[in-house]
Amino acid sequence: MFRKIAKKLRRKIYRLVSAVYDSDLKPPTSREKQLVEELKASFRESPSVEPGDSYPSEKEWLINVNRLKELVLNDDPREFLRWDVISKTMSVTYAEYITIEQRYLKNRVDWHNRWRQALEESPVGHPVPHWQYPRSSANLIHHAYHLAQFEEKTMLQVHTMDFVFEFGGGYGSMCRLFHNLGFQGKYVLFDLPDFSSLQKFYLKSIGLAVHPLKSFEKEKKGCVCISGTEQLRHILSNSHAGNSMFIATWSISETPIEFRNNILPLTADFGAFLIAYQHRFKEVDNITFFRNWAANQKDIECYDWEIEHIPKNGYLMGKRKANQ
């Protein structure tokens, strides 16, 4: 009981301190008006979804899609990072463990010449400043921690990748961070159609090149946001798999087993992967699933461990062995 009260009190303090550094939303520019209208138009055209008798792990995401559609059509998308569905599914605005992750990043030898600049937050989406490090946001710090852990385990630097496939791209924050770190390759975000629309809105708003599917293959760099499995198969079959990276942070672990078994084989030739997962999600035992999957990656050096500051959650990362 005392712990719950203390936790609520700490969160109130975080909110109060963050509010000191917060700023009001500015009037929209003509470019912002254009991108907002594009986003709203895409949601007007998207069909409504009914959770029905879906798997529990699938039903929750369909409910989230309906909530996102309601907010896009009725609120100001320029402050979408303050919406409840975003906080619930893809943003960790007031999570206490961000303090641990921020401290880890600031103690790295490459903090000043690499991570400090990459963690500069964009005003797009009207993010809440992190109460301890207002130049950034909790979510951006969280994503940076994932990548720093990956680099420490594998000795690979993410900006050297030629091709990245992110399953469940959130609102595009991880893709943005890759580019902040100097990534110059091609980046594929695969998600539900409405979340793909949000990703396009965000990435275009921060000035990244988001290509149509037809022209993406001809490009040497840039992003594409897709939802179709056949589209994904086509793109990945033509990727430079040797220097490719697969990312899924609490995304593929929230999908039904049947669906993830259709996706993961598409990454068989990739050179590296970063997966974060909760030990159990609805009806799925993820510890068993990912341990079995890792055991079958014969030419991949895997690292699997529990995230100490986020109990009942784990990392699974790896890279192709040097002789492969």
Instruction: Summarize pLDDT for 263-272 with one digit per residue, the tens.
Output: 999 999 999 9
Architecture in CATH for domain 98-320:
3-Layer(aba) Sandwich (3.40)
> Of 57-61, 95-99, 103-107, 188-192, where does mean pLDDT reach its minimum?
57-61
- The pLDDT score that the predictor gives to residue 163 is 96
pLDDT confidence of residue 53 = 63
Say if residue 37's pLDDT is above 80.
Answer: yes
Stronger pLDDT, 9 or 94, i.e. the higher one = 94
Residue, of 107 and 240, whose pLDDT is higher? 107
Task: Give the integer Cα–Cα distance in Å for 273 and 308.
Answer: 20
Residue 239: predicted pLDDT: 73
Residue 241 — pLDDT band, cuts 50, 70, 90? low
Contacts from 298-305 at CB under 8 Å and sequence distance 24+?
A: 299/324, 300/273, 301/154, 303/153, 303/154
Q: Which of 119, 191, 178 is nearest to 199 (CA)?
A: 191
Res. 301 pLDDT band, cuts 50 70 90: very high
More confident residue, 3 or 86: 86
Whether the predicted pLDDT of 57 surpasses 70: no
**For the chain, what is the total number of helices (H) and then of strands (E)?**
13, 9
Q: What is the pTM for the complete model shown?
A: 0.92
Any idea where the domains of the chain sit in the sequence?
A: 98-320
Quick: pLDDT tens for 204-218: 999 999 999 989 989
- Facing residues of 318 across strands? 273, 302
Take residue 317 and report the two structure tokens written for it.
Answer: 């990362």
Confidence band, pLDDT 50/70/90 cuts, at residue 6: low
Residue of 58, 83, 80, 93 lying closest to 200 (CA atoms) = 80
CA distance 157 to 181: 9
DSSP conformation letters of 91-122: --TT-TTHHHHHHHHHTSTTIIIIIHHHTPPP
pLDDT band at 109 (very low <50, low <70, confident <90, very high): very high
For the chain, give the mean pLDDT.
91
Q: Report phi then psi at 105, rounded to 5.
A: -65, -40
Determine if residue 222 is left, alpha or beta; phi over 0 gives left, psi from -120 to 50 gives alpha, anything else beta.
left
| pLDDT digits 0-9 by tens, 117-160 | 999 999 999 999 999 999 999 999 999 999 999 999 999 999 99
Average pLDDT over residues 193-204: 97
